[in-house]
Structure 1
């Protein structure tokens, strides 16, 4: 029981520390679009962060895949590259297409994630990296526009939560070599 309490206390402290290091927000939300943004300082050089971005199978939560397996995800970090997912029985999903790839500096993708694929909306997911003293400030933005029944502003907080979880998992993966 003592070990369980110590573990719970350590987890609470780690979660609080992570939350204090990450700034997150729904920047804007309108019926025709929204922007969500996150920024954190990662204890790793920019080239390591960039390399990790191209390995979503290592840090993306399987609960936010169509296949139920993060191992089915891939990302080709080059213009025209695919952020794709293999599905059972030979199926596949193209989540987004890479429109900008600059190692150590930034990665930008175009497309719609999750339920947004079933609407008239599309988005731009971008990560910018700025290294200083061996640490990297990573900023993630997702701008979405178009049409969705009921308005895109209604889904913005959910998208922010889901992308925030992936961002947090990426940070932990970069800094520890393991995703939660």
Structure 2
């Protein structure tokens, strides 16, 4: 396991500045995050041109409610990790060929954060795409979420992000930073699903 909270090197800072202000804000926030989030996450492998992140969290809500919350990223994705700075601009079309996307207000554009390639409603979704600054790199990336009933009225959410390709800063440098971002988002998904009213 690679320790999270690694400092940003000058090389990474330069890379992120080229990737854009939104990406820079995302990773700087990740580097500053507390490690003690209520989820288990691990960089299970990392090399110069690849990394794998595995994470899991238990949500005190049934799978159907967690799935409904997941499909509404505006309710849980941190606005600090967006390009527009407003989570209300995030949306998900949860079907194959759909996307996890973001509208930029005032006709200034839009962003596909990830492309959806597989959906089993309430059970699993798989997306492809480089998140944040990885979008500007020559990488192939696959992000999978599973939703499994656990006990009475709870859901285990497991996530795997597999990234491979050319990364100017190197996979070993980027992995713990991306790990922190995704861990933070899982914790926010848990909070959103647990506060959602049944049937909402």
TM-score in terms of structure 2 length: 0.76
3-state SS in 2 of match to 1:101:
strand
Larger Rg computed on CA atoms: 1
Whether the 8 Å contact between 1:60 and 1:166 is mirrored in structure 2 is: yes
Q: In proportion to residue count, which structure has more helix?
A: 1
Aligned residues: CA RMSD: 1.9
| Larger RCO (CA under 8 A, 6+ residues apart) | 2
Of 90, 98, 111 in structure 2, the residue corresponding to residue 81 of structure 1 is 98
**What displacement does 1:150 show?**
3.0
1:39 partnered with 2:53: no
Q: Please give the secondary structure, in 2, of the residue aligned with 1:97.
A: strand
CA pair 30-46 structure 1, distance change in 2 beyond 3 A: same
Q: Distance in 1 between matches of 2:133 and 2:41?
A: 21
Q: Is the partner of 1:167 in helix, strand or coil?
A: helix
Instruction: State the partner residue of 2:134.
Output: 116
Q: Cα gap change, 1:158/1:18 in structure 2, threshold over 3 Å: closer, same or farther?
A: closer
Matched, 1:149 2:165: no
Contact 1:116 1:122 in 2 (8 A): no
1:167 to 186, 191, 194: 186
| Cα distance between partner residues in 1 of 2:113 and 2:104 | 12
C-alpha separation between the residues in 1 aligned to 2:132 and 2:58?
A: 27
Gaps of 5+ in 2: 1-33
What is the number of residues matched between the two proteins? 162
